[in-house]
Structure formats: C-alpha cells, structure tokens
Structure 1
C-alpha cells in the first residue's frame, strides 16, 4: 500500500525525498511495523548534531528549512528538527501523531528540575499508542515503544521502560545493568509553534549547551556513535565503550563525515575544532 495523506501543515515536506534520504522504499501503511522501520532508518541516516548553533547559526523549525537542511543538505539536527520532520512524514503517510514536551533527566543530578525542552511524539498505530523519538542524541530510540507503563521493552539496542507517576511518565533505559531516567513528560499535546520559543533559546542563548558545546550522535543497528567536544566514542551494547580524542580539524571532519554522515562542505570545521572542548 502506498497511499499517503495531504496535511496542510505538512505541505512543506517532500515525502518521497525524505524516504529516499533514509533509504526506505517499503510499505506505507500506518502500522507499527512500518513506523519502526522508518524510525530505525531515520536514526541511522540522519544524525543528531548541533553544528549550526555551535557555529552561530540559529536553528529554524519551518518544514522548508528542515527539508533543506536534514533532507536535501546532508545534515542532521537536534530534537525539534528531527521530530518535527518525522511528525510531518508520518502524518503524510496517514499516522495520527501528537507532539509532546519533556523535561530532560539524562545526565542531571537527582532532584534537578529542568525546563521542558525536549520534543517527543505519541503515534497511533495498530489501534494503540506508541512513543516515537528520533531526536534524543546519544540515547535515541531506534524503534517505537508501546505506551504501556511499567513494562520492560527490548529495542534493537537497549531495553527501555515507561514509569507512570501522578499523570506523568518517565522514560528509562537499561544501561550498564542499571535503569537510568532519560526524560519525564505528560500527555498535553503540543503544536509545532509551541516549540519555537524553546528552540530560539536553545539555539541562540550563550547559556545553552547547544551553543557552547559541540555534540553529535548516530545510532546504527548495533552501535551508537557519540561526539562530545573532541572526544569521539563508540558504544556497543554489552561491550566496553571505545574512546578517542581527536587531534586536529582534519580528524574532526573525517569523523563527522564518515561516522556521523554529515556533509561538512559548507561548515567551518577549523573553527568548530578550535572552539570544541579538548576532552
């Protein structure tokens, strides 16, 4: 089945080009199996990266801009860019999709209350709701999760689970034998415009880590690649992580091109390397 639906708010996305970008040429029925295949291919093909805000260029969230950058430009982006792009594609295919807002817990000290700054999706497929999120950097989901709290679900990489508490839900991942919280969210639907203010802050504020710290991530079927400053890491579930410190701008460009599949031709990689934290 190849039927797709026209959504006025998704008209800025060229769905065939998006599908070509992620390497998907299969069925386009709005099923959980199709959703999972699209998510896996998106996570593998389009990296998480913040090179634009790190180099002083604010991120734009309108669909024509996302099309130019992530689909046609050989680039990646951060959560809003990824999940707004996926939302538009899924809606054109015929899925019912709701945007949500989360407080990030990953890497935060216990008790820290961060502002809502992360986008995720709730997708209806096969008669049930599923969590989809292709924009969470180093711990990005590579498949959807059934919206079933307190049940461990095995993804292609790590196990995940949702913990319900007083109308909110915490997504956790099993890493190194321990459950770690990624983020906490409720089910209040957000529209694309609801992410604009947070996006402007995160991509322009001198206090934003997306402005001050270089980062990139990409997930394949069996590896996670991560870049933090000049530190490049390869994670393989069940094995010790491999770390490497990049020595110069040429090595940074090579890693960005080969491991993260980022087209760096229009980017000042010398400046990026000079500004990146040594380790």
Structure 2
C-alpha cells in the first residue's frame, strides 16, 4: 500500500463517487467526500472468495475501485479515501482497530480494521468509510462520552483501557463497533493484517459473502444468500436468494457490482451450497 498521495487521480476519484464540491482541506469538504464515498463505493469481499490477492498499492486500488467500479473491504476503501484526503492537503493519521461488533466480551479479537483520524482547525475527527453494514457516513469529533449525529445512526467514543471504543446507537442500545489506540500505523501494518484477513481459514471474509452500502434513508447488506434493507428507523426486510444468478442480480441491481460468468464461477459457485445450507441449519 502506498503513501504517495500524489499518485491518485483526484478527478477520476471524484467522478467515481459523484463529488462535485470544494477541494479545500476543510471540515465541510471532509464531510462531503466521506458521505459521497460511503454511499457509492460498496464494501465487498468478492476477490477474497475467489482466492485472488488483495492488492493495496495505490495504482491497484484505483484500477479496482475507480476504473473497474468495484468495491473492497476496509484496507482497500479506506486506503483510497485517505490517499485522496492527503492529496487535498488534509492531515491524516491512519490507525488499526480490533473489531468488537457482535463479539462476546470475553473473546479477544485481532487488529484487523483500518480507520483514520483527521486533524483540522476545529479539532480532531474520526473518519472511516469501510465498516461493512455499519460503515460511517460522516466523520465525528474525536471527543469521548458525547453523542454525535451522523447522516445515519448516532455514534460516540468512550475510553476503553489504554485506548478507545467506537459505538453506534441502534435503537436504545449502544453497540460496540471496534477498539483502537492512537498508535499510527503504516503500509507494512496493513499489508500484514490484510493478508491474514484475506487468507486465514478462520477469517469471516474467507468464509462468507459480505457486501454492504448505505443509501440516504437506509442500509443495504448482502450476507451469503440473505439480502436485507434496513431503514433509518430500524424497519428491516430480508429476502432469501435461491440461486447464484439471484445473488449476481442483487449485486448488479443494488450494489452496482457486475460479475462476468468467470467471476460468478470463481466467487460464488464454490460457496453457494454451503451458504444456503448454513441458512437452513
């Protein structure tokens, strides 16, 4: 993964995410880019399911996420986002966290999620466009024990041991998302974490299909053979998909991910029967 932000084609990136706003490194610019990116580039792990390498160098990220109009998981989408911010002159520090979403308190999780903090005259802000079905749609001030609105669910940071925990308010419950410290991380850290995440047999990304993208008034997720839409008021509808072709149709119509026959054969067909059996068990 490259730190050379001058390699990014900002015009192509902004066209990809549909952003036409200002380019000065301000809070409003950060909010605009964050929202546009989150609502355009899907979170997805299809290449992992096909056994294809996850490449984190900036030219590869631009080819996949911009030219091919695909998505990616946190190390991909956040790396592209950060490269754009740095090219615009933002002061960005990249961090790595331990996912706590739906994890039992006693379960120790590894460092497997990329996030960032952005320093502005107004203060420090947490920014993250790559957390699956709960991807943030706007940055929040880096202040603990305060609730902050985003275009979707409210968020807050709390002190957790020697670091911090990001939480999302889902209904009346504050759900833990991930824990992290302010130790800066670089390309070598993300390469190692991404390699484990994309190759280890215990990784959820090796086992399951996970695709997500928010819209202005809802969140859309595809988990194996279940496609779910959840409105901002919490109302959810789930559709069970019964064939590889149905999964491919949902990917195309709801996430703008177009798969070739070869892609379907490599990414979906080897796993589909197992996913369907898991749903029925």
TM-score tier after normalising by the smaller chain length: over 0.9
- Who is 1:185 aligned against? 180
Aligned equivalents of 2:204 and 2:11: distance in 1?
34
- Who is 2:203 aligned against? 208
Alignment of 1:27-42 (within 5 A): 27-42=22-37
Counterpart of 1:26 (choices 7, 21, 24) is 21
CA deviation vs aligned residue, 1:26-72 (integer Å, no higher than 9, x gap): 10111111111111110111000000001111211000110000111
Whose helix proportion is higher, 1 or 2? 2
Aligned equivalents of 1:166 and 1:152: distance in 2?
20
- Who is 1:223 aligned against? 218
Q: TM-score by structure 2 length? A: 0.93
* Deviation of 1:192 (Å): 2.1
Aligned equivalents of 1:123 and 1:192: distance in 2?
18
- The alignment status of 1:167 with 2:162, answered yes or no, reads yes
State the secondary structure of the residue aligned to 1:98: strand
* Deviation of 1:205 (Å): 2.0
* Deviation of 1:165 (Å): 3.2
Query: Cα–Cα, structure 1 residues 151 and 15, in superposed 2: closer, same or farther, change >3 Å?
Result: same
Counterpart of 1:90 (choices 73, 85, 89) is 85
- Who is 2:62 aligned against? 67
Aligned equivalents of 1:77 and 1:164: distance in 2?
30
For these two proteins, the number of residue pairs brought into alignment is: 273
State the secondary structure of the residue aligned to 1:269: helix
Aligned equivalents of 1:56 and 1:270: distance in 2?
12
Aligned equivalents of 1:77 and 1:168: distance in 2?
27
Tell me if structure 2 keeps the 8 A contact 1:248–1:273.
Answer: no
Tell me if structure 2 keeps the 8 A contact 1:252–1:273.
Answer: no
Aligned equivalents of 1:237 and 1:24: distance in 2?
23
Tell me if structure 2 keeps the 8 A contact 1:252–1:269.
Answer: no
RMSD: 1.5
- Who is 1:3 aligned against? none
Tell me if structure 2 keeps the 8 A contact 1:54–1:214.
Answer: yes
Aligned equivalents of 2:88 and 2:30: distance in 1?
10
- Who is 1:268 aligned against? 263
- Who is 1:156 aligned against? 151
* Deviation of 1:267 (Å): 5.2
Structure 1 residue runs without a partner (length 5+):
1-6
State the secondary structure of the residue aligned to 1:226: strand
* Deviation of 1:228 (Å): 0.7
CA deviation vs aligned residue, 1:101-143 (integer Å, no higher than 9, x gap): 1010001112211011101010112331100000100000000
Tell me if structure 2 keeps the 8 A contact 1:73–1:263.
Answer: no
State the secondary structure of the residue aligned to 1:259: helix
Q: TM-score by structure 1 length? A: 0.94
Counterpart of 2:7 (choices 2, 12, 21) is 12
